[in-house]
Amino acid sequence: MPLGEHRPHEPDPGALALEVAVLRQELARTQAELAEARALAELVERSPHPALVHDGCTVLWANDAAAHLVELESGQAFVGMQLVDVVEPSSQEAARERIAATLRGEQLPTPGEFVVRTRSGRRVVVETRASRTVWRGVPAVYIVVWDVTARREHAAQLAWAATHDTLTGLLNREGIRAHLDHDLGARPCADPDHTPAQTVAALLVDLDGFKAVNDRHGHAAGDAFLQAVAGSLQQAAGDHPLGRLGGDEFLCLLRDPAPGEPEALAERLAAAVAETAQPPAPPTADSATTSPAPAQMPARAATGAAAPAVTASIGVAIGRTGQVSPSALLAAADAAMYRAKRRGVSHETVDLTSVPSAPARG
């Protein structure tokens, strides 16, 4: 090499080999991470649990399970949709608030619950859990969804069964007693708009002659007859709470009645029982094609013949909130009902509003 000429720097083979090895390790680690991410994405995509990514305005991604929940073909069909497209109006504001709170980084301690509509219009109750994420550089919310419709329907059925009579569909003893307690202010009501009444009329209805239906035609016929009577009483009671206390006893409540209104209602209830107990009239030429009145049909259908005469004895008790307890009002109605039986009249009334009494308790 001529004097003064510099030899190019020759890389150290050992250093090159080490650098290549480090790059290979980093590449292998990156490939492993990518494979793991792909596997995780595939798991989420194929998960039976609906999941989606939302940016606060639209759906950015959804798996097929989320799409099928609302009867869409695929997750891709969900992309670009807004809350108003699937969430019922009553749930939209709460859904927006939860998404916004999650985007702000707030930890929501309880799952959200919303009602969504499928493409066919079916209502689905869903429970959601959300976490903040980044989707392709955009702040977003990852939402996992559970369909809790069946669970909520089962809970509603249990709640209904706890307060309703399974034979007649009317309120049961506990259900009608709760109405009475709420109206007299003896028990807090879950409805914030409910206020106690100033006065309450309790109408206790007892069926006279019903035992003969069971004795002559059997308990299945008796049950059918009670169902028919319950339907007739419900029609006569209108919007007033009506319940079956058990056996052949029913209770109807009237809030803040006008003078004479409880007695008028008692007469309608007694007439409803009497009409139900009568067999249909023989058809005439003009009515040959006309079916018997619905209230009359069950009495004959249940027994196969005219049912024994069944009438109602009704005890009416009127009490003032804060002056009479629910138990005392029911006891007064029961006593009035037995007076009606002894006298052979449809109803007897006792007005406790003019009777001084001790402060009401339970």
Q: Each residue of 252-282: pLDDT tens digit?
A: 999 999 999 999 999 999 999 999 876 444 4
Q: What pLDDT is attached to residue 286?
A: 52
Q: Which of 115, 116, 145 is nearest to 129 (CA)?
A: 145
3 within some domain: no
At 197, the amino acid letter reads A
Among 151, 177, 197, the domain boundary falls at: 151
Residues 130 and 207 in one domain: no
330 within some domain: yes
Active site residue 248: yes
Among 123, 151, 179, the domain boundary falls at: 151
Residues 109 and 243 in one domain: no
Residues 320 and 273 in one domain: yes
Residues 123 and 192 in one domain: no
CB 178 within 8 Å of CB 243: no
Tell me which of 147, 223, 248, 351 is the catalytic residue.
248
| CA quadruple 72, 75, 76, 80: dihedral sign | positive
Q: What pLDDT is attached to residue 13?
A: 75
Residues 57 and 89 in one domain: yes
288 within some domain: no
258 within some domain: yes
110 within some domain: yes
What's the CATH code of the domain at 272?
3.30.70.270
Q: Is 85 exposed, middle or buried (0-12, 13-18, 19+ CB in 10 A)?
A: middle
Strand partners, 87: 116
What's the CATH code of the domain at 90?
3.30.450.20
**What is the number of structural domains in the chain?**
2
In whole angstroms, what separates CA 264 from the centre of its chain? 34
13 within some domain: no
**What distance in Å separates the CA atoms of residue 32 and residue 54, rounded to the nearest whole number?**
28
- The tokens describing 275, both together, are 């009409």
Q: Which of 101, 99, 80, 103 is nearest to 91 (CA)?
A: 99
Residues 180 and 101 in one domain: no
- The tokens describing 225, both together, are 């007859």
Phi/psi for 115 (5° steps) reads -115, 125
Residues 333 and 202 in one domain: yes
Domain hosting residue 43, numbered range: 29-151
360 within some domain: no
Residues 191 and 78 in one domain: no
- Going residue by residue through the chain, which has 362 residues, state the pLDDT in tens, using 9 for 90 and above: 565 555 566 767 777 777 777 777 777 777 666 655 555 555 556 667 899 999 999 999 999 999 999 999 999 999 999 988 999 999 999 999 999 999 999 988 899 999 999 999 999 999 999 999 998 889 999 999 999 999 999 999 999 999 999 999 999 999 999 999 998 887 777 677 778 889 999 999 999 999 888 888 888 989 999 999 999 999 999 999 999 999 999 999 999 999 999 999 999 999 999 998 764 444 455 544 433 333 333 443 344 445 468 999 999 999 999 899 999 999 999 999 999 999 999 999 999 987 665 444 45
Residues 80 and 108 in one domain: yes
298 within some domain: yes
| CA quadruple 45, 51, 57, 58: dihedral sign | positive
Residues 181 and 39 in one domain: no
Residues 143 and 192 in one domain: no
| SS3 at position 79 | coil
Residues 135 and 192 in one domain: no
Among 98, 121, 151, the domain boundary falls at: 151
